[in-house]
């Protein structure tokens, strides 16, 4: 569990009330990762949603050559990653590797899904934030694919 104040500082949760922030804090922890650490890999079971607090995380897709992943984009502070934890079939769609040492909120994905099912207002705001992040990732992927076709 983390402090409610830490949740409150995250723009991802800016539309939530105090009770909803307390519920999020109860299923979250603050984690740190060193440079070059892989946080999760494409295809793994997605158990956690992350909100980056400090540092940078790079996202990769596996291409034809598994030794040369395709860089898709970077995650910066206040941005979510691991959003597959909230979307069936709950498998990470990209790999996440630390570019600069990081601190992040790690939120229990199944517990957050359960909270969203019990509180539709919370679920609506989380779904909007996840959709926004997903659309940004799609845009980044299109940019990268266009760059590789030139």
Task: Give the model's pLDDT for residue 34.
Answer: 96
In this predicted structure, the answer to whether residue 141 has a pLDDT above a threshold of 80 is no
CB 93 within 8 A of CB 140: no
State yes or no: pLDDT of 136 exceeds 90: no
Q: How large is the average pLDDT for residues 71-98?
A: 94
Q: Give the pLDDT of residue 150.
A: 64
Q: Which is it for the CA torsion 88, 91, 97, 103, positive or negative?
A: positive
Does 39 have pLDDT greater than 80?
yes
Cβ-Cβ contacts under 8 Å for 44 (sequence gap 6 or more): 91, 92
pLDDT in tens, 49-65: 999 999 999 999 887 77
d(Cα 109, Cα 48) in Å, to the nearest integer? 5
| Residue bearing the bigger pLDDT, 63 or 71 | 71
Pairing mode of beta strands 48-61, 70-75: antiparallel
User: Cα separation of 106 and 40, whole Å?
Assistant: 12
Q: Which residue has the tokens 């909270």?
A: 115
Residue 54, H or E segment: strand 48-61
Q: Look at residue 17 and tell me whether its pLDDT is greater than 80.
A: yes
Nearest residue to 60 (alpha-carbon basis) of 84, 95, 98, 99? 95
């Amino acid at each position: 569990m983390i402090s409610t104040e830490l949740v409150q500082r995250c723009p991802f949760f800016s539309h939530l009330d105090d009770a909803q922030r307390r519920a999020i804090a109860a299923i979250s922890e603050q984690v740190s990762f060193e440079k070059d650490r892989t946080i999760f890999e494409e295809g793994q079971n997605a158990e956690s949603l992350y909100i980056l607090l400090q540092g940078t995380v790079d996202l990769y897709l596996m291409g034809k050559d598994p030794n040369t992943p395709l860089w898709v984009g970077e995650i910066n502070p206040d941005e979510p990653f691991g959003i597959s934890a909230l979307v069936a079939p709950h498998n990470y769609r990209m790999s996440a590797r630390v570019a600069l040492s990081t601190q992040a909120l790690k939120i229990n994905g199944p517990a957050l899904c359960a909270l969203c099912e019990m509180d539709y207002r919370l679920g609506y705001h989380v779904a909007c934030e996840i959709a926004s992040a997903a659309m940004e990732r799609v845009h980044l992927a299109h940019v990268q694919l266009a760059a590789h076709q030139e």
